Homo-oligomer: A and B are copies of this chain.
């Protein structure tokens, strides 16, 4: 017997947690935690867009948009494909849709 050995606070069992996994999760969330990047995720979940299109929608210069997109690509959120002089970005991480739905249901809706 005795699974916890110390402090009998009558709680429904403490969840286990690998510290490394929390760090990795925090990294990705940090990447998501920027208004422009959230908007870009929302847009790209609805289709393909170029750097310039995303920049214009977000009212920021192209090079700033490019840096945000690079950050998110590093996280595995997006991939990019060049077509002529344009570069199209698209969602690569399947869980982004779920997470964005959670965020939208809390902040972008009733």
Binding site for B on A (CB under 8 A): 7, 9, 11-15, 17-19, 21-30, 32-39, 42-43, 46-48, 53, 57, 95, 98-99, 102-103, 105-108
- The distance in angstroms between the C-alpha atoms of A17 and B21, with both chains bound, is 31
Which residue from B39, B47, B99 sits with its C-beta under 8 Å from A11?
A: B47
Number of copies: 2
Which residue from B17, B18, B24, B33 sits with its C-beta under 8 Å from A26?
A: B33
- The distance in angstroms between the C-alpha atoms of A106 and B24, with both chains bound, is 10
Q: Which residue of B lies closest to A27 (CB)?
A: B33
- The distance in angstroms between the C-alpha atoms of A13 and B23, with both chains bound, is 36
Q: Are B46 and A35 in contact (CB under 8 A)?
A: no
